[in-house]
Each structure stands twice: as C-alpha cells, then as structure tokens.
Amino acid sequence: MQRRPQVMILGTGRAVPEKILTNTDLEQMVETSDEWIVARTGIRQRHLAEPGAALSDLVVEASRSAMADAVVGADEIDLIILGTVTGDMKFPATACLVQEKLGVKNAVAFDISAACSGFLYGLQIAEGLMMSGGYRRALVAGGEILTSMVDWEDRDTCVLFGDGAGAVVLGPTDGERGLLQACMHSDGAHADLLYNPGGGCIHLPTAENAAAKLFSIRMEGREVFRHAVTSMGAALNQVLEQAGLSADDLDLLIPHQANLRIIEAVAKRFKLPMDKVYVNVDRYGNTSAASIPIALDELRRSGELKKGALVGMVTFGAGFTWAAGLIRI
C-alpha cells in the first residue's frame, strides 16, 4: 500500500573539484586504455581533489547551494547527516565540521559509514528522525574524496573512482510530494570483497603497512558486480511492491553510478528504456555516497525533475550495503 509521504526535498546542491582526470591521463599512469575503460565501465573522466583537500569544503559548497535552492537558512537546519567513508579526519565526524563551517548552531550532526549507500541511508534516517524526533529541516549529504584512498598503481581500481559531494534539504511534505517508500539492507558476510583494510585499529599507520598498500581500496570487481546487479534489483523491486507500483510507473530511475554495465543490467531487469535511466558515470566515475545527490541536483537544475514525477533511486556498496527509495517530485 502506498503511504503518504512525510518529508520532501526542498532544495539540492552539488560540488566537484575543478581538476579533471581523463582516461587518456590514466593511460600515462597505468597499463590501461580509454577503450577498455569506456567499454568495461562507461567512465570517460572523473573529478580529482588536490592532495590534502578537505571533504568538508566540498560538502559545505554543495550544502550552501542546496540551502539557497530551498531558501532555508542556517538557523533553520536542525539535523545534518553526511554519508561518507573519506571524511576529513578519523574523528570528529565531518558532519560536525560542516555544521561549523555553515554556521548551523542548533542542530545534531553525524556521519554515516555505508559507502555508496550513505546518501540513501541518510535520507531514511533523516525521515525517521523527522517523523519521530520533531526535526523540521534536515540537510542530508553524500560526499567522498575517494581518490585519497586509491592505489594509483592498481589498474583494477584506480580508473573507477572520482571525487564530489551532493546535498539535499528535507522538510515536511506539502501534501502528496516526497519520499513515498524506502528500504535499506546490509550483509557483512561480503565485507572482504570491497574494503580498505588500513586506517582502523587493526592495521596501524606504519611504514610497513603503507608499503603493503593497506591504506588503499581493495575490490573483487567481478564478485561485487554480480552482487550489485542482484541486490539493486531486489531493493528496487521491494520499494515498488511496497508502494503498490510497478517499474512502468517510474518516470525516471537514478541508479548509483558505479559502472554503466551494472546500470544497464538493472534497467534490463525492469524492462526500463535507457531514456528513463539517469547516467552521468561517464563524467564523474564512481563518487560513492555522492553519486545519487549529484544526479538529483543535475536533474533539478536542468528542469528534468517535473512536479508529480515518480523517481526511483537505488544503490549498492561496500559492507555490503544496499538501499532504494521512491520519491514523488
């Protein structure tokens, strides 16, 4: 049964570093080719933060833009949730640093570690807190500087990731519009298929561990691919069924942007034509938690998010974690 939405998106924003790394640039760094990268992933370029750049600055830029779009001031935000696995520091939470930089005084701010699912987790946690905890205006962001943990000698992974941030401001619904249905899942049984071993309490920051590349992303690409297609399909199916809707009802699907072939496989499962499926992985690569809010902002600013449209969102990432949501614009 379709339930009435409780919260809606009031505004969106995004920010990416200026510098662009093309596939041709990568050809000079590792044994790869533009042809291989485009054919196997759909990626043509990605944005790259300067070494040592602060993620909080990217998130602040995206958040300011979302707050301006929503016409919501810093004094009105009472909840800040940031999905990230590449925060400024181990602690405090980068959301607290964002809070300070934005001048938001009366809010609770925290990070969520759910990798590529961080934004959709954040959206649902914010909705739950707004419904039960009385919060009125939430800033939900996803942001990553994943290139800070890329091993630039590993061609299996270094061609895949990019940096960026996206944010939305949530407020109470004005009626029929907003988050209709959502789900979140995780399964730690597959934690070792996509992870960054170092930086925690097990592998200390020694020269030996750095030489063993323990501070870089490790991924079993083929296995992750397989799980991503299955789990994203299951999550999207779940929210559609719970809402009493079918894929035909979707005006647009915004899938997590990791690989064009994953996106196409999910679209095929639901018999969705690709003109109903948003793709920007060619321009950004995989920005993890930032990919869905960046897409939302691009669509909103280009006027493609039409009032009344039904938009699906679905993601999959390390953990494993996966999630989906349906929004009436």
Residues near ligand UT7 (CB under 6 A): 32, 36-37, 40-41, 116, 155-156, 159, 194, 221-222, 224-225, 228, 258-259, 262, 286, 316-317
* Number of alpha carbons in the 13 Å side-chain half-sphere of residue 208: 2
Q: Reduce the DSSP state of residue 152 to 3 states and report it.
A: coil
Catalytic option among 96, 116, 158, 183: 116
Retrieve residue 127's tokens. 């909705």
Q: How many Cβ atoms sit within 10 Å of the Cβ of residue 77?
A: 26
**Residue placing its CB nearer to ligand UT7 in the complex, 11 or 233:** 233
Buried b (16+ CB within 10 A) or exposed e, 301-327: eeeebeeeebbbbbbbbbbbbbbbbbb
What DSSP assignment string belongs to 37-77?
A: HHHHH---EEE-PPTT--HHHHHHHHHHHHHHHHT--TTT-
Least distance to ligand UT7, CB of residue 87, Å:
18
**Residue placing its CB nearer to ligand UT7 in the complex, 45 or 99:** 45
Amino acid identity of 200? G
**Residue placing its CB nearer to ligand UT7 in the complex, 104 or 224:** 224
**Residue placing its CB nearer to ligand UT7 in the complex, 36 or 110:** 36
**Residue placing its CB nearer to ligand UT7 in the complex, 80 or 160:** 160
Q: Judge whether 256 counts as a catalytic residue.
A: yes
Least distance to ligand UT7, CB of residue 258, Å:
4
Q: Reduce the DSSP state of residue 165 to 3 states and report it.
A: strand
Q: Reduce the DSSP state of residue 305 to 3 states and report it.
A: coil
What's the first-to-final CA gap in the chain, in angstroms?
A: 19
Least distance to ligand UT7, CB of residue 191, Å:
13
Cβ neighbours of residue 131 closer than 8 Å, sequence gap 6 or more: 6, 7
Placement of tokens 């609770």 in the chain? 108
Closest CB to ligand UT7: residue number: 221
**Of 119, 125, 138, nearest to 10 (Cα)?**
138
Least distance to ligand UT7, CB of residue 120, Å:
13
Least distance to ligand UT7, CB of residue 144, Å:
10
Least distance to ligand UT7, CB of residue 303, Å:
28
Q: Judge whether 116 counts as a catalytic residue.
A: yes
Q: How many Cβ atoms sit within 10 Å of the Cβ of residue 230?
A: 15
**Of 277, 185, 182, nearest to 239 (Cα)?**
182
CA pair distance 114, 284, nearest whole angstrom:
20
**Residue placing its CB nearer to ligand UT7 in the complex, 36 or 215:** 36
Catalytic option among 47, 158, 256, 259: 256
CA 98 to chain centre: 17
Residues recognised as catalytic: 116, 256, 286
